[in-house]
Amino acid sequence: MNAVFYLLAAITIAGGLAAILLKHLIHAALAVTVAFGGIALLFLQLDAQFVGFAQILVYIGAVAILIVFAILLTHGADLPEKGVFNKGWAAALVIAAAVFAVTGWAVLQSIDAVPQRNAAPVVSMHDVGNALVGRYVLPLEIVGLLLTAATIGAVIVAMHEKERSR
């Protein structure tokens, strides 16, 4: 919990808050990209090189682009007349607090599961690779299936119409 951690946490939280509070959608998308970058730097600060760079590669390099494409292609960049805040924000606050509580409880439980809490485990690329195809192969294959389904869906949506009604 040193100064670097606080700085990175401040960047991430600032990005997230800006993403919620900014009115212009593209600005909000760019702010959430800053938040992604902050998370990646937090991973790097914890010496998780693979996850940190994969976060940059995937989130900033692909997910952020996906978000801005989606905004642009659905005419979402115009300012809404009624304002950006939902009327049911109280219910949303409750749900968000519940999700945060569950996630926080899970994280705190997992800290107790690791025996040496103070020593940072040294995880190399090989360990990540071995874990992915050894212990976690089922989630890996399920994610692959999910991506295949998404790709097939994208191809079907963009496919040429068959020449049947000419």
Partner 1 sequence: MAATPFFANLDRIFILLRDWLVGFLPAAFRPAAGVLLAVIAIVCVFPGLFALTTIFERKGLGRMQNRLGPNRVGPFGLFQPVADGIKALIKEDIVPLSSNSLVHFLAPLTLVVAVFMEFAVLPMGRNMALVDMDAGLLFFFAMSASTELSVFMAGWSSRNKYSLLGAMRAIAQMISYEVVLVLSSVSVVMIAGSLSLTAIVDKQNHYTAGLPHWYIFTPWGCAAFVMFAIAATAETNRSPFDLPEGESELVAGYHTEYSGFKFALFFLGEYLAMFSVSGLGTTLFLGGWSAPLSVLNWVPSWIWFFGKVMMSIFVFIWMRGTLPRLRQDQLMNFAWKFVLPFTLLDLLVTALWRMLGPGWERWVFCSVILLVAYVLMGLGAGRRRHIGPRTYRYAE
Binding site for partner 1 (CB under 8 A): 26-27, 30, 33, 49-50, 53-54, 56-57, 60-62, 64-65, 68-69, 72, 124-125, 156-161
Q: State which residue, 117 or 162, has the beta carbon closest to partner 1.
A: 162
Q: State which residue, 93 or 154, has the beta carbon closest to partner 1.
A: 154
Q: State which residue, 14 or 50, has the beta carbon closest to partner 1.
A: 50
Q: State which residue, 61 or 144, has the beta carbon closest to partner 1.
A: 61
Q: Tell me the closest approach of the beta carbon of residue 166 to partner 1, in angstroms.
A: 9
CB 92 within 8 A of CB 86: yes
Sign of CA dihedral 13, 15, 17, 20: negative
DSSP label of 162: P
What distances in angstroms separate CA 157 from CA 22, 43, 71, 152, one per listed residue?
A: 32, 36, 18, 9
Q: Tell me the closest approach of the beta carbon of residue 68 to partner 1, in angstroms.
A: 6
Sign of CA dihedral 114, 118, 122, 123: positive
Q: Tell me the closest approach of the beta carbon of residue 115 to partner 1, in angstroms.
A: 25
Q: Tell me the closest approach of the beta carbon of residue 57 to partner 1, in angstroms.
A: 4
DSSP string of 54-96, one letter each residue: HHIIIIIIIIHHHHHHHHHHTTTTSPPTT-S--TTHHHHHHHH
